[in-house]
Protein backbone atom coordinates (compact mmCIF):
# COMPACT_ATOMS: atom_id res chain seq x y z
CA UNK A 1 0.00 0.00 0.00
CA UNK A 2 1.34 3.42 -0.96
CA UNK A 3 0.13 6.81 0.22
CA UNK A 4 -0.94 9.05 -2.63
CA UNK A 5 -0.29 12.74 -2.23
CA UNK A 6 -3.39 14.87 -1.84
CA UNK A 7 -3.82 18.55 -2.56
CA UNK A 8 -0.91 20.29 -0.88
CA UNK A 9 -1.76 23.89 -1.70
CA UNK A 10 0.15 26.39 -3.78
CA UNK A 11 3.55 27.79 -3.00
CA UNK A 12 5.17 31.09 -3.96
CA UNK A 13 6.35 29.69 -7.30
CA UNK A 14 2.80 28.68 -8.25
CA UNK A 15 1.22 32.10 -7.76
CA UNK A 16 1.80 33.87 -11.08
CA UNK A 17 0.62 37.42 -11.79
CA UNK A 18 -2.41 37.33 -14.07
CA UNK A 19 -3.69 33.99 -12.77
CA UNK A 20 -7.33 34.02 -11.65
CA UNK A 21 -8.57 31.57 -9.03
CA UNK A 22 -12.29 30.99 -8.62
CA UNK A 23 -12.41 29.56 -5.13
CA UNK A 24 -14.38 26.31 -5.12
CA UNK A 25 -16.66 26.66 -2.10
CA UNK A 26 -19.69 28.91 -1.97
CA UNK A 27 -21.15 29.64 1.46
CA UNK A 28 -24.70 30.51 2.46
CA UNK A 29 -24.75 32.81 5.47
CA UNK A 30 -27.19 31.78 8.18
CA UNK A 31 -28.75 33.82 10.94
CA UNK A 32 -26.67 31.84 13.43
CA UNK A 33 -23.45 32.75 11.56
CA UNK A 34 -24.32 36.43 11.73
CA UNK A 35 -25.45 36.34 15.37
CA UNK A 36 -22.39 34.39 16.52
CA UNK A 37 -20.05 36.72 14.67
CA UNK A 38 -21.61 39.77 16.33
CA UNK A 39 -21.21 38.08 19.71
CA UNK A 40 -17.62 36.96 19.09
CA UNK A 41 -16.53 40.40 17.93
CA UNK A 42 -18.56 42.42 20.46
CA UNK A 43 -20.33 44.25 17.65
CA UNK A 44 -23.20 46.05 19.35
CA UNK A 45 -24.73 47.65 16.24
CA UNK A 46 -28.33 46.48 16.28
CA UNK A 47 -28.51 46.42 12.46
CA UNK A 48 -26.91 42.98 12.78
CA UNK A 49 -29.11 41.28 15.39
CA UNK A 50 -32.29 43.24 16.14
CA UNK A 51 -34.97 42.60 13.50
CA UNK A 52 -37.28 45.38 14.75
CA UNK A 53 -34.47 47.92 14.69
CA UNK A 54 -33.21 46.78 11.26
CA UNK A 55 -36.64 46.86 9.61
CA UNK A 56 -36.74 50.64 10.25
CA UNK A 57 -33.60 51.09 8.11
CA UNK A 58 -33.48 51.63 4.37
CA UNK A 59 -32.69 47.90 3.99
CA UNK A 60 -35.76 46.79 5.93
CA UNK A 61 -34.01 43.78 7.44
CA UNK A 62 -30.92 42.63 9.30
CA UNK A 63 -27.58 43.18 7.55
CA UNK A 64 -24.77 40.65 7.77
CA UNK A 65 -21.79 42.07 9.64
CA UNK A 66 -19.35 43.39 7.03
CA UNK A 67 -16.32 41.94 8.82
CA UNK A 68 -17.95 38.50 8.56
CA UNK A 69 -18.18 39.03 4.80
CA UNK A 70 -14.46 39.92 4.71
CA UNK A 71 -13.51 36.94 6.89
CA UNK A 72 -15.52 34.60 4.69
CA UNK A 73 -13.82 35.85 1.51
CA UNK A 74 -10.38 35.41 3.04
CA UNK A 75 -11.34 31.92 4.24
CA UNK A 76 -12.69 30.92 0.84
CA UNK A 77 -9.34 31.82 -0.73
CA UNK A 78 -7.13 29.72 1.57
CA UNK A 79 -7.40 26.51 -0.47
CA UNK A 80 -6.12 28.25 -3.59
CA UNK A 81 -3.80 30.94 -2.24
CA UNK A 82 -2.66 30.75 1.34
CA UNK A 83 -2.55 27.12 2.43
CA UNK A 84 1.19 27.73 2.87
CA UNK A 85 1.12 31.38 3.91
CA UNK A 86 2.48 32.29 7.32
CA UNK A 87 1.58 35.97 7.61
CA UNK A 88 -0.85 38.47 6.17
CA UNK A 89 0.96 41.76 5.57
CA UNK A 90 -1.86 44.01 4.47
CA UNK A 91 -5.50 44.33 3.57
CA UNK A 92 -6.01 47.40 1.38
CA UNK A 93 -8.67 49.09 -0.72
CA UNK A 94 -11.52 47.28 1.05
CA UNK A 95 -14.81 48.10 -0.65
CA UNK A 96 -18.19 46.87 0.57
CA UNK A 97 -20.19 47.46 -2.59
CA UNK A 98 -23.54 45.73 -1.97
CA UNK A 99 -25.45 44.76 1.18
CA UNK A 100 -25.28 41.14 2.35
CA UNK A 101 -28.29 39.55 4.04
CA UNK A 102 -28.94 36.30 5.89
CA UNK A 103 -29.61 33.65 3.25
CA UNK A 104 -27.20 35.09 0.68
CA UNK A 105 -24.68 32.67 -0.78
CA UNK A 106 -21.26 34.16 -1.40
CA UNK A 107 -18.57 33.02 -3.81
CA UNK A 108 -15.09 34.54 -4.09
CA UNK A 109 -12.37 34.79 -6.69
CA UNK A 110 -8.84 36.18 -6.61
CA UNK A 111 -6.52 37.62 -9.23
CA UNK A 112 -2.78 37.44 -8.58
CA UNK A 113 -1.47 40.99 -9.07
CA UNK A 114 2.21 40.74 -8.21
CA UNK A 115 4.83 38.78 -6.36
CA UNK A 116 8.38 39.31 -5.23
CA UNK A 117 11.03 37.36 -3.43
CA UNK A 118 11.60 38.18 0.20
CA UNK A 119 14.96 39.81 0.91
CA UNK A 120 14.91 38.74 4.57
CA UNK A 121 13.32 35.28 4.22
CA UNK A 122 14.86 33.18 1.43
CA UNK A 123 12.33 30.41 2.13
CA UNK A 124 9.39 32.68 1.19
CA UNK A 125 7.97 35.28 -1.12
CA UNK A 126 5.45 38.11 -0.94
CA UNK A 127 2.29 37.94 -3.06
CA UNK A 128 -0.46 40.51 -3.64
CA UNK A 129 -3.92 39.54 -4.89
CA UNK A 130 -7.23 41.27 -5.54
CA UNK A 131 -10.17 39.29 -4.15
CA UNK A 132 -13.84 39.89 -4.71
CA UNK A 133 -17.00 38.20 -3.53
CA UNK A 134 -20.22 37.77 -5.48
CA UNK A 135 -23.65 36.90 -4.16
CA UNK A 136 -25.96 34.31 -5.73
CA UNK A 137 -27.25 36.95 -8.18
CA UNK A 138 -23.78 37.88 -9.41
CA UNK A 139 -23.66 41.19 -7.55
CA UNK A 140 -20.19 42.09 -6.30
CA UNK A 141 -20.54 42.58 -2.54
CA UNK A 142 -16.90 43.04 -1.57
CA UNK A 143 -13.43 43.64 -3.02
CA UNK A 144 -9.99 44.15 -1.50
CA UNK A 145 -6.27 43.76 -2.10
CA UNK A 146 -4.35 41.42 0.20
CA UNK A 147 -0.61 40.95 0.57
CA UNK A 148 0.84 37.91 2.32
CA UNK A 149 4.02 35.94 2.92
CA UNK A 150 3.92 32.44 1.46
CA UNK A 151 6.48 29.64 1.67
CA UNK A 152 8.49 28.53 -1.32
CA UNK A 153 8.26 24.91 -2.42
CA UNK A 154 10.70 22.84 -0.35
CA UNK A 155 10.82 25.29 2.56
CA UNK A 156 11.85 23.34 5.68
CA UNK A 157 8.89 24.79 7.61
CA UNK A 158 6.40 22.78 5.53
CA UNK A 159 8.30 19.55 5.04
CA UNK A 160 7.50 16.45 7.11
CA UNK A 161 4.57 17.81 9.09
CA UNK A 162 2.42 14.66 8.79
CA UNK A 163 3.21 12.41 11.79
CA UNK A 164 4.56 8.89 11.40
CA UNK A 165 1.94 6.36 12.53
CA UNK A 166 2.92 3.93 15.27
CA UNK A 167 0.96 1.19 13.47
CA UNK A 168 0.20 0.81 9.75
CA UNK A 169 -3.34 1.40 8.52
CA UNK A 170 -5.28 -1.71 7.64
CA UNK A 171 -8.30 -2.49 5.51
CA UNK A 172 -9.44 -4.99 8.13
CA UNK A 173 -12.43 -4.03 10.25
CB-based contact 68:76 (threshold 8 Å): no
How far is 39 from 33, CA to CA, in rounded Å?
10
pTM comes to: 0.88
How far is 26 from 123, CA to CA, in rounded Å?
32
For helices 66-77 and 31-40, the axis angle rounded to 10 degrees is 100
pLDDT values of the chain reduced to their tens digit, one per residue, 173 residues? 677 777 788 999 999 999 999 999 999 999 999 999 999 999 999 999 999 999 999 999 999 999 999 999 999 999 999 999 999 999 999 999 999 999 999 999 999 999 999 999 999 999 999 999 999 999 999 999 999 999 999 888 888 777 888 888 877 76
pLDDT of residue 60: 95
What is the CATH class of 12-154? Answer: alpha beta
Amino acid sequence: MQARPGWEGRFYEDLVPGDLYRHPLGRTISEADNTWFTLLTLNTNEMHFNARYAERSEFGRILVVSTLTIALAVGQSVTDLTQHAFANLGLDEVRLTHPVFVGDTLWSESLVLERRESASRPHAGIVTVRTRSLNQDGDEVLSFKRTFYVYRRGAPQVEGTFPAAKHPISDER
